[in-house]
Amino acid sequence: MRQNTIRDRLDRGNLRWRQRQDENAAQRLRTAREGQAPYAIVVACSDSRVIPEQIFDAGLGELFVIRVAGNVLDRHQLGSIEYAAAHLHCRLILMLGHTGCGAVGAALHGGGEGFIQYITDEILLAVGRERDPLKACEKNVLHGVALLKREFAEHPEIPSEDLEIRGAVYDIETGAVRWLEEEFGVRNLKK
Interface contacts to Zn ion, rule CB under 5 A: 45, 47, 101, 103
Q: How far apart are CA 191 and CA 188, in angstroms?
A: 6
User: Which C-beta is closer to Zn ion: that of 81 or that of 103?
Assistant: 103
Helix axes 182-190, 133-151, angle to 10 degrees: 90
User: Cβ 100 to Zn ion, closest distance in Å?
Assistant: 8
Q: 69: Cβ–Cβ under 8 A, 6 or more apart, which residues?
A: 45, 46, 47, 102, 103, 116, 119
User: Which C-beta is closer to Zn ion: that of 47 or that of 130?
Assistant: 47
Percent helix, strand and coil across the chain, each to the nearest 5: 50, 15, 35
User: Cβ 19 to Zn ion, closest distance in Å?
Assistant: 32
C-alpha neighbours within 13 Å on the C-beta side of residue 148: 33
User: Cβ 94 to Zn ion, closest distance in Å?
Assistant: 15
User: Which C-beta is closer to Zn ion: that of 85 or that of 137?
Assistant: 137
User: Cβ 99 to Zn ion, closest distance in Å?
Assistant: 9
User: Which C-beta is closer to Zn ion: that of 32 or that of 125?
Assistant: 125
